[in-house]
Amino acid sequence: MGGPLIVSSALLEMRGIDKSFPGVKALDSVDFTLRSGEIHALMGENGAGKSTLIKVLTGVFPKDGGSIALEGKLIHPRTPLHAQTLGISTVYQEVNLVPTLSVAENIFLGREPTRFGSIQWRRMKAASEQALAKLDIQINVGRLLSSYSIAIQQMVAIARAVEIEAQVLVLDEPTSSLDKDEVRQLFAVMQKLKSQGLGILFVSHFLDQVFEVSDRITILRNGRLVGERQTSSITRLQLVSMMIGKSEDEVAVMASHNVRDLPTATGEPFLTATGLTKRGSVGPVDLQVRKGEVVGLAGLLGSGRTETAQIIFGVEHPDQGTIHVEGQPVRISNPRKAIRLGFGFLSEDRKMAGIIPNLSIRENIVLALQANRGWLRKISQRQQQELADRYIKALKIATPDADKPISQLSGGNQQKVLLARWLASQPKLLILDEPTRGVDVGAKAEIEGLVYQMCADGMAILFISSELDELLRDSSRLVVMRDRKKVGELSGDRLNSAELMNTIAAGGNER
Amino acid sequence: MKKHLSLIATIAIFVLMVAGASLHYKGFFSFGVFLNLLRDNAFLGVAAVGMTFVILSGGIDLSVGGMIGFTSILLGVLITKHHFHPAAAIGLSVAIGTAIGTSMGYVISAFDLPPFLVTLACMFLTRGLALVISPDTIAIDHPWYDAVSSAKTALPLIFLTVLAVGLYIAHARPFGRAVYAIGGNADSAALMGLPVGKTKIKIYAISGLCSSIGGVLLTFYMSSGDPNAGRMLELDAIAAVVIGGTLLSGGVGSLVGTLFGVLILGVIQTAITFQGNINSWWTKIVTGILLFGFILLQKVFQLRKTDS
């Protein structure tokens, strides 16, 4: 390095970047400029080309055309390792570390301090502790990475990237699994790194966070550059309209539906759960979902929301408590039973429990319906095609045809395919666990619109989300959880953010 | 602590078996028996060291037995028919074994092929080569050879040396960490900038090296070169590694466990020899039961882990 760093000097210049995949032009002559000492947000809907641009920059994909210059010198990152040695480090959306190694090993993997070729374990541990201390994290670095929460693992990934002494730090959706305090911590670290002259490329779906932390924003749409703006000179509405290519007025009208206006919200109870308890996991929880009603499950990360949903869907088994469906007591011992009762479950973790990457979009869509009918009564090819085409159109899934492997779709579109899978099986109760996590603004509005539509059609919906705004917007009633227990229920006038925050924070004293 | 649970289980079983056999059979608990245990299983042990690296990285090597047969007969021909000095013959055949391993690694990483199939092909290849070189066993008669094979401690020492070097590489060298990382999560390892391809090539090179050293040890043990030597030995090696607590999916395990895995297989054999009146194939049955028990045990550990 050496020499004083001048803020605003161009650190990284990407010019006219082209990248095509079979059938798709992912990047079309995109420019991107990152200056030293700035936090630069890269914005766009899913499929806009953000991930591809980052992967070209970090050497995961070769570019088809264009140039990349770092400090004025042309570079050609061939692999992530090569990019790292050039000074470009990345923290990816999903934690890309090795769970079976210790925290210290994860921070130093590939660049362990050695003496005569042998790893200096003590030095490595001390340096790891130091690197984490910079992020205000104190943990036992000798323990396995998998013994820590996703949030901590994410911080370890950042500590690793920082430790490489990068000039360019790429943070791809770093905040999607962090809670509020952890996000604050991360932003403090980002500011610190920025003041040291690092250029930070930040990708996030949370508009609040982008406005809070970034200095500059580059917007992509459909693989093309829409523009670069200073964060201080652009409004939220302008940004969203640039991202989705609609006028500001249109954006303002979107997502103005309200499920509470629906007459169906007073329907008869579909699901009644009483005193659900699983030792060491969750409980007790009482819960009722009526037909044509969206019940939101609110609470902080780890408050037991997902666990509750899993018990209802038969993934986990309660030690105590009863579940009634349409007045009849039921025992839901596995997800197949739940599906037969007319339940659907859109899970939080698309990769783990949702998509089957090697199957086509069509096959992924008909999966639940086929399972429901039994494998002997096969759905004909033609019916499958019709179903797939119908949902691709209805949910605006961005794909040339239904026979593409689902793994080639962007995250938001994969999520829509999963939603289509459950809709195709026409469930009576749909459990949505973080359906909009990692999904961009446009798709989010569409998914929210769908929830409204399904609810109006008389479906019972259990809706889990970490975003309180979203919950308040989309729920007829809120069940609030804290410390793995139900601590309150909000409806009517009490459905506002002040009441919700109060209940989450104080909890339990009033019902 | 939790990290070492399955290693502790392996060692506990070894201790229990030795204790049981010592109480039951007079003279079982002696230095001589233990030394013989190491000597009889030295070739398996060395091959299992290489296999441990392969399995830790999430791969598998089925060519081990073929490689041992090939090395064994190559040595016999070179020394007895072509009058090579044993040291030169050993050097040459180990070099060829390592080269074969390296090529397997190259094919696996360059074309992203499943190790199971590549090493399966290599298993046929090496065994075929061995039988082409000579279909019959060739006695090796050389003063230097006799000296080594009559020294009781030679084979155990070679085994323990290979093991020590392996331990050093696995735990003290960055390469060892890369092996664990690739087995733990290959995609992450690549994104973290580890040289995944190069590491894989080295892993199979190590396995080739180890199995050809295993072949050399077998010729010392038998005083002959045999193209049929080491049949199905790859499966014994895999069993030793798994009983030693290494997960077949990679990323978790250790060479210390493999040592005990080999010793456990050896103790079963020795105990059945001591018994004298039962069919020696019972060794296989006990091995099967133990292996099954260990797979179940590992599953239990995994379930407990996801629960907590």
B276 CB neighbour count, 10 Å cutoff = 8
Share of residues in chain A with pLDDT > 70 (%): 89
The overall average pLDDT reported for chain A is 82
Closest-CA residue of chain A to B253: A100
Closest-CA residue of chain A to B185: A98
Please give the Cα distance from A170 to A151 (Å, whole number).
Answer: 18
Closest-CA residue of chain B to A112: B174
Confidence of residue A251 (pLDDT cuts 50, 70, 90): low
> Which pLDDT value is given to residue A2?
40
pLDDT of A18 higher than 50:
yes
The minimum CA-CA distance between A125 and chain B, rounded to whole Å, is 14
More confidently predicted of A378 and B220? B220
> Which pLDDT value is given to residue A458?
82
CA angle, A484 as apex, A481 and A489 as ends, to 5°? 20
Q: Do B192 and A117 touch (CB under 8 A)?
A: no
From the list B3, B184, B191, which residue is nearest A80 (CB)?
A: B191
Please give the Cα distance from A110 to A87 (Å, whole number).
Answer: 15
B183 contacts on A by Cβ (under 8 Å): 100
> Which pLDDT value is given to residue A300?
73
Structure tokens belonging to residue A41: 């947000």
More confidently predicted of A217 and B141? A217
User: Which of A425, A426, A492, A434 has the alpha carbon at shortest distance from A459?
Assistant: A426
User: Which of A12, A10, A8 has the alpha carbon at shortest distance from A66?
Assistant: A12
More confidently predicted of A328 and A251? A328
The minimum CA-CA distance between A494 and chain B, rounded to whole Å, is 37
Confidence of residue A122 (pLDDT cuts 50, 70, 90): very high
Whether complex ipTM tops 0.95: no
pLDDT mean over A286-302: 84
> Which pLDDT value is given to residue B65?
96
- Write out chain B's pLDDT in tens, 308 residues: 456 777 888 899 899 999 999 998 888 888 999 999 999 999 999 999 999 999 999 999 999 999 999 999 999 999 999 999 999 999 999 999 999 999 999 999 999 999 999 999 999 999 999 999 999 999 998 899 888 888 889 999 999 999 999 999 999 999 999 999 999 998 888 888 888 999 999 999 999 999 999 999 999 999 999 999 999 999 999 999 999 989 888 999 999 999 999 999 999 988 888 887 778 788 888 889 988 888 888 777 766 655 44
> Which pLDDT value is given to residue A349?
65
List, as one string, the DSSP characters of B196-253.
HHHHHHHHHHHHHHHHHHHHHHHHHHHTEE-TTTTTTHHHHHHHHHHHTT--TTSS--
Q: Say whether A409 sits in a helix, a strand or coil.
A: coil
More confidently predicted of A178 and A391? A391
- Which CATH class, in words, describes the domain spanning B2-302? mainly alpha
> Which pLDDT value is given to residue B115?
96
More confidently predicted of A37 and A451? A37
Helix axis angle, A441-456 to A236-244, nearest 10°: 80
Residue extents of the structural domains in chain B? 2-302
B243, exposed or middle or buried, with CB in 10 Å at 0-12, 13-18, 19+? Answer: buried
A268 CB neighbour count, 10 Å cutoff = 10
Q: Do B251 and A81 touch (CB under 8 A)?
A: no
Instruction: Kindly state whether A120 is in contact with chain B, defined as any CB-CB distance less than 8 angstroms.
Output: no
User: Per-residue pLDDT tens for A66-94?
Assistant: 999 999 899 999 988 888 888 898 887 66
> Which pLDDT value is given to residue A341?
86
Taking phi over 0 as left and psi of -120 to 50 as alpha, with beta for the rest, A510 belongs to: beta
Q: Is the pTM of this model over 0.80?
A: no
User: Per-residue pLDDT tens for A396-447?
Assistant: 787 778 888 887 777 777 878 888 888 888 888 989 888 777 666 677 777 7
Please give the Cα distance from A501 to A490 (Å, whole number).
Answer: 11
pLDDT mean over A109-120: 89
Per mean pLDDT, which range of A167-181, A238-252, A367-381, B201-215 is the poorest? A238-252
From the list A98, A114, A160, which residue is nearest B185 (CB)?
A: A98
> Which pLDDT value is given to residue A255?
46
> Which pLDDT value is given to residue A3?
40
Please give the Cα distance from A285 to B216 (Å, whole number).
Answer: 67
From the list B171, B174, B181, which residue is nearest A101 (CB)?
A: B181
Alpha helix (H) residue ranges in A60-197: 80-86, 103-108, 121-133, 150-163, 180-195
Size of interface A-B (CB pairs under 8 A): 75
Per mean pLDDT, which range of A108-122, A316-330, A404-418 is the poorest? A404-418
